[in-house]
């Protein structure tokens, strides 16, 4: 299409100029792009015109779709936040209280009209399956913010976070900017998931980017190499997770507030399975809550089918496996309600 417009003598930069003029963005960035488009409009006959036009078209698509001034309205109702966290998590009272304290400070700051509250940068540290990621999801839900999850597992290049310069043919923004575009909010909850699991080769440089991201004096002007213009991340709420802190740079840890996510004991797992895992598995399978009844003695067999597990992922898979077996029995016409007892539990346990 662009090629046809050039052949017909049309100036294909005109629609781009109109798009930039009508979009919401910083004025100095707007002027910078318009000046570039003006220069490009005089190079229509050049052999480099089409590649340059394609490059700037993609760039304009990005900068006109970023939430430069868009933000979500925070929900700071403590009762609502408490209900959300209780709905999604059993126990973890010290962590829940910490979140409620931060939201209380935000309310007071807003009432005083003296600016934005600086969020503590929480870092949930614990073994797999102890609820680190789901707690971050609950915080975003409680505050009415978009959750931007950035996985660090296996990340080996800081450009994954910061983006590539547009001088590279296949350049694109980093994960931070990509998530901001998807969420259309400049004040999301940004989940830095498993920051201890970056590769050894890229650890030092990635930790350097994290220092900038997590420093309130620097993240107000975070610059992605592709966008090449500062973006204000000071209103974002950063939450990090890690299995342990040994692989995290000291400078990064200095900016984090580590909170230990303890392992669950057997009794806690039984309550979690009864109140959270089983109802969710039944709902996902389209089954009535009364279809399956577990005898109290059965739960002790379910929480340790393969030995001790710090988290609940094995237990969750076990419960889901039981529900699937019951679903098959229902479809095969072998019953509508099932009672799981110590005597028949082996018939329903999934085979690992």
> Which residue numbers in the chain have pLDDT < 50?
1-9
Domain C-terminal end among 192, 226, 260: 260
pLDDT score of 8: 46
Residues 254 and 276 in one domain: no
Helix then strand then coil, in percent of the chain rounded to 5, is 50, 10, 40
Domain C-terminal end among 260, 278, 307: 260
3-state secondary structure of 181: helix
Q: Which residues contact 222 (CB under 8 A, 6 or more apart)?
A: 176, 212, 213, 230, 231, 232, 233
Residue 73 lies in a domain: no
Give, to the nearest 10 degrees, the angle between helix 49-63 and helix 13-22. 20
Our count of domains for the chain comes to 3
Paired tokens of 284: 């996902």
Residue 170 lies in a domain: yes
Structural domain for 343, as ranges: 266-348
Residue 71 lies in a domain: no
Give, to the nearest 10 degrees, the angle between helix 132-143 and helix 93-112. 30
Give, to the nearest 10 degrees, the angle between helix 78-88 and helix 93-112. 160
pTM (2 decimals)?
Answer: 0.82
pLDDT score of 305: 61
Residues 13 and 125 in one domain: no
Q: What is the pLDDT of residues 55-85, one digit of tens each?
A: 899 999 999 999 999 999 888 889 998 999 8
Residue 70 lies in a domain: no
Residues 45 and 103 in one domain: no
Q: What is the pLDDT of residues 112-164, one digit of tens each?
A: 665 555 667 889 998 888 888 988 999 899 889 999 999 999 999 999 999 99
Question: For the stretch 8-17, what's the b/e string if a residue is b when 16 or more beta carbons lie within 10 angstroms of its beta carbon?
Answer: eeeebbeebb
Domain C-terminal end among 63, 91, 106: 63
pLDDT score of 303: 82
Q: How far is the C-alpha of 181 from the C-alpha of 297, rounded, in Å?
A: 50
């Amino acid at each position: 299409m662009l090629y046809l417009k050039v052949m017909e003598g049309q100036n294909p930069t005109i629609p781009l100029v109109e798009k930039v003029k009508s979009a919401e963005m910083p004025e100095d960035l707007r002027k910078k792009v318009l000046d570039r488009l003006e220069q490009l409009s005089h190079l229509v006959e050049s052999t480099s015109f089409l590649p340059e036009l394609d490059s700037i078209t993609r760039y304009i698509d990005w900068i006109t779709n970023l939430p430069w001034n868009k933000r979500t309205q925070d929900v700071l109702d403590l009762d609502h936040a408490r209900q959300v966290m209780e709905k999604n998590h059993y126990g973890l009272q010290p962590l829940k209280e910490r979140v409620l304290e931060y939201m209380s400070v935000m309310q007071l700051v807003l009432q005083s009209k003296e600016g934005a509250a600086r969020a503590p940068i929480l870092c949930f540290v614990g073994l797999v399956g102890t609820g680190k990621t789901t707690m971050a999801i609950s915080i975003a839900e409680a505050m009415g913010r978009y959750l931007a999850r950035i996985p660090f597992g296996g990340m080996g290049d800081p450009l994954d976070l910061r983006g590539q310069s547009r001088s590279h043919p296949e350049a694109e923004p980093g994960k931070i900017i990509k998530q901001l575009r998807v969420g259309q909010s400049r004040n999301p909850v940004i989940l830095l998931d498993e920051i201890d699991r970056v590769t050894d080769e890229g650890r030092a440089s990635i930790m350097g980017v994290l220092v900038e991201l997590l420093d309130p004096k620097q993240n107000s002007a975070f610059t992605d190499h592709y966008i090449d213009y500062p973006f204000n991340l000071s209103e974002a709420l950063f939450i990090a997770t890690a299995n342990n802190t040994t692989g995290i740079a000291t400078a990064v840890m200095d900016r984090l507030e580590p909170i230990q996510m303890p392992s669950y004991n057997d009794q806690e797992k039984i309550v979690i399975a009864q109140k959270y895992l089983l109802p969710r598995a039944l709902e996902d399978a389209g089954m009535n809550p009364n279809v399956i009844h577990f005898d109290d003695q059965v739960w002790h067999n379910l929480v340790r089918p393969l030995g001790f597990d710090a988290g609940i992922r094995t237990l969750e898979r076990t419960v889901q496996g039981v529900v699937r077996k019951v679903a098959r029995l229902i479809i095969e016409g072998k019953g509508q309600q099932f009672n799981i007892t110590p005597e028949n539990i082996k018939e329903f346990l999934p085979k690992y």
